[in-house]
Structure 1
Amino acid sequence: MIKEVAHTVLYRKYRPERFEDVVGQETVINLVESAVKSGKPAHAYLFTGGRGLGKTTVARIFAKELNTKPTDIYEIDAASKRGIDDIRELREHVRGTPMESKYKVYIIDEVHMLTKEAFNALLKTLEEPPAHAIFILATTEFDKVPDTIKSRTQMLQFKHPTQEILELYITDIAKKELIKITKEAVSLLAQLADKSYRDACGRLEEANIHSADGEINADIIANSFGVPNSVLINKLLEAIVLSNAESASSAIGTNGFANINHELLLNMLLMRIRSLHMLRHKMIKLDEVEKTFGKDEANFLNELANNKDNKLNSAIIIKLLDALVMVKRSPVKSLPLELAISDILG
């Protein structure tokens, strides 16, 4: 049974409208708030970070907090407006005075998509900007932005949320939407979100559509996204860490093993193996692992790390990393992991 849903997309519905509503970007917010309070904002900013972290949202709030009216805020998508002629048009527009505000604010999203010639044209404006112009450049690919542009901006790095922050974010939205969801399902959705607030909302919304009885549980997540459950993952961990052939056989023989998302499975395995390896060598505290995986899973990893039969080493980890690379192009998605485990077991 699929529930009919007719409402605003959750990420847009809960898009922050004030600095205090922004989650997980305290350093960025402190800096832009200071600029607002001082009345002396920089003429150009470069917001950098992954997808769905709030770069455009913070840019809009920043412009609003500078008392810039909507008529003086201009958003440009550099993915489609990326040529020299587009930037020349922008340069002409910048020269004009604001219509209703002290500043004209230009938010250029995906700025790394500009052509070389367009960047050169933009550089001239950034070198000698009008006093009334503020540029906020946003990018998911910092390395593709020329150094000449970077050097003329104030760079602000948006952080990826931790597992714990994403779980709180999902739980809060679910509560506001009166969505019933188990703690385990929240944890799985947070892992599926790929460290993105926007993706977290999208995954929650999709899971809610597929929930038949109104409650989202681990089975709903597994059926919706092909997510391996904790029982399967822990069997594989035992097989890998303890060289346990019985656990390997049980895991690989699980019904539907070949049809799950093996790229996600390898990512989830490697995240746990990293924590397990660090626990074993006292490089991380247990409470940090709890923040990522929850208390029960952290305790399981800790027990495995301290097991006298623990055979985990760098060579095993490299085999799994190789399998992750191979799974992206393998016609049989389960094969890279199966081969890696076979190799580990000898």
Structure 2
Amino acid sequence: MTPHTTNWWPGVIALGLSLLCGLAYLLLQRNKGGGAPEPLRDGKQDDLDRRAQSLIEQLKELVAEKHNLAPEQFAAEKTRLEREAAAALRARDEYRQSKIPTAGTSGTPATAPAPAPAATGFSSRNPQLVGALWGAGIVIFFGGLGYLLVSEQRPRDDGMEATGRLPPGEPAPAQPSGMEQEDQALTEAQERLRANPNDLESSSMVAHEFIRRQRAEEAERLTNQALAIDPFHVESRVHRGVLRAIRGDTEGAEAELLTLADTYPGAQEALLFLGFISMQTGSKTKALDYFERFSVEVPRNMQPPQLEAAIAQLRQEVGSRP
């Protein structure tokens, strides 16, 4: 029996992550403590800024309304505003310069901001100790997690291999039947259609299934809604032709479906419906022609599984084909 070996890598990785998290937290707290306090706003500075900006805006408006004033009036008003704006800008700049302490000046501005109140509480008085405690807590947490991961590891014993086989006496999960799969697909398509009424693919899928289940009224309602959104949607036009045959207009439906099959490359489904309509009317020769044309124009992986058997049976019944 081989001795059990312990894999320490998960613990080492967890401990390394904990150390990194602790260092990141300490650096973050240090940066927060070293920030400079935001200076207070100066009311007089704001007044000077607003005065200068207001005069500049008045000067812009005067230039924009130049065509409404006499030349002498425009020139006089423009000169006045330019002088006042220049004086306001000069006063603003002088006040800014007076607020900046010069080299060798020991005095402070008259409006020095009041010192911020001293922070109280244990965490405020000892930020470094609090950061160290947080870092130690993170290290202990990840260290315990790594130890737990290492201690829970053990090799698979005999009989624990993941083979995918079911235990003896365990019943196999039931596989859904074909009808259940079709019902599930229909339900999902209806949910998509309810969420997005403009989903033409889901609409045509549901209408096709309704036609197959002889729910003509619901299929016609969905088909009309799809054609109202896109009058050239090929699958919906095919369904309209089939519904026309269901209502009794067999000749009109056959002409419409044949036109679609000859005109649009994506309308080969109409050939299947034409074959079914011909079988209903007793014209097995035409049904065989439509089915054979469908088998030639559509790839084999997209053909219904019963098509080949139906063609073979029709050939035997018609008797005129090998």
Q: Bin the TM-score by the shorter chain.
A: under 0.3
**TM-score, normalized by length of structure 2?**
0.19
> Which is greater in Rg?
2
**TM-score, normalized by length of structure 1?**
0.18
Q: Which has the higher contact order (CA 8 A, sep 6+)?
A: 1
